[in-house]
Structure 1
Amino acid sequence: MRLLITILVFLLMGWLGGGTWFWVCKVKQLCNKGGSTHTSISAPAAPVPEVEADEAEPARLSPVSVPEPVGNVSPLRIRYGEEVVMAFEDSWHFGKSSAQAYMPPAARRALDSLASLLKADPTKAIELTGLYAESEQNRSESTNLGLARADFIARQLVQRGIDEKRIIKSFELLPEAGLLNEQDTLLNGLNIRLIDAIAESTTDAPVPIPARDLYFSFNNTVLNMNPELRAYITRSIQYLNQHPDKKLRITGHTDNIGEPEVNLIIGRGRAEQVKQYFVEFGLSPDQIITDSKGASQPKASNDTREGRAQNRRVEIKIE
């Protein structure tokens, strides 16, 4: 009888294991089909030796070819500017609504190579842009699933010895049709871009990030994100992470249409909206000061439509 029970237990365990493998690897396609035989296109054969910061030379980054996709596997691309400078035949596999990913060997090697490059070249930093679809459910503690995915990969780099101040996290909302495959697995889930790090400077040195204005439509506090604004936020956060004594001042303004008290509220709402973007991208709220001037400090004449459009703005300045 005991022998029969033992056999049944082993059969049940085998059935459960086989069913799990079939679901994960065949249905969800979260397994690495090539096992450990994948090789990266541009990863170094051996880790890049670490050197002192003053002895390091900027890495020579050249364009590389990208492997052809195989089935539902999406090649991993790492860009510097517009060029792909590192490429691997497999990427991390995020499931739908998941902030954690299965890491095939090629993805782990990609992070190893990236960490080695960053250690060898202090003139570079990294921008992680987490992708997500509106239909996904955010069960993480992050503001959205894109940031949660960026944070997951950021932790992998920190574990490999990269200073978190050199990692900029952002997010991008994409249509589901371009993000998920038929198994509800993300084709990539996150984009990586090497960027030039802002050089360390003394407290008295001029701030290298210029002040700028952001404009809003009438009676509106919603700001549309675009690549140019995303790049400005990234550079500002880089600098502020290096200089915790500095503050980001965000001041909201309006045109003169409406009651002064209402305009003050609208101006503050605009400033808070911009602040939220910086916080979501990883800047500490303690380094942000928000204010509203309402219609009291116009940039142009309120007598024309064009002038009023220039006055509906938010001023951003590091001080």
Structure 2
Amino acid sequence: MKNFISLLIFLLFACLGMWWYYSCDWCSVKKNSSITTVQNQPDPAEEARKKKAYEDSIALANKLANGFFIKDHLGKDIFRYPEQLQILKTNDSVCIPSSADGYNDLLANYLGKNLDKELIVYGFETKEEQDSGKQLGLDRANFVKNLFITGGINADRILTKSKLHDYTYNDEGKYNGGITFEIHEVSNKDRLNEIEKSIANKTLYSNFGQKDFKPDATLSSYAIELKNYLVKYPEKKVNIIGHTDDIGEEEDNLWFGKQRANNVKKYLVSRGIPSEKLTTQSKGESDPIVPNDSPENRNKNRRIEIIVN
């Protein structure tokens, strides 16, 4: 009888214990938590997708941050294009992204309005390339400088330097980047005088004699520089001189030279330079800079000289 009562008491406590375990919130949380953990095991394919999306976003952010750009002296973009420049392992060529449209105009406008600033172009080269003695870094910088000059930028406003950098070409022998830029304030008086002299004495080559005269990139960029130069030195005047080759009659060439000088004057006035500051004249064929003995030399003699004094 005593054993029977003990058994009943044991069964009673066992039932109470089971009821407490399954009804207790803490136990339920623990049990459900265990189940949830099993159910939320990461899907390898989903994790791979998320990882790739993250890496792609980082790559895009880097591309946008590093693209083809130049910042002004205040740290603001003069221009920015998302695609980078590209240098080649085999030579000093630099590839400009096809999306970079109008960068020369934007740079010319900045430099024209800031006569005390100049652009430094840095070309990358590895230690191995530097040791080879090929000067690839400097040649790459000069390649870009020539692109700017072709686009109308004053050559005297651009300096070039090489820069040692550790990088690896891809399987096609290309490296995205390789060129950096810095706008530098010209504090050296001699250097500033050199820049201003290049504005005050300018020789231009273009189709100045065409009836439907249109300025080329060099004249467009120069007009901005000249306008701001005259703001800085309001007492100065500008003389525009037309020159020709020796083909044709001397009197006719004097007339052609004058017409070409007048075309340039009209354009400069349209860009905001006061007409009263500009005079024109012609020297025709009388003042060649090289002998008129070849088509190339005649092209050099057909020119416009602009002298500010």
- Which bracket does the TM-score occupy, shorter chain normalised? 0.3 to 0.5
* Structure label with greater radius of gyration: 2
Q: TM-score normalized by structure 1?
A: 0.37
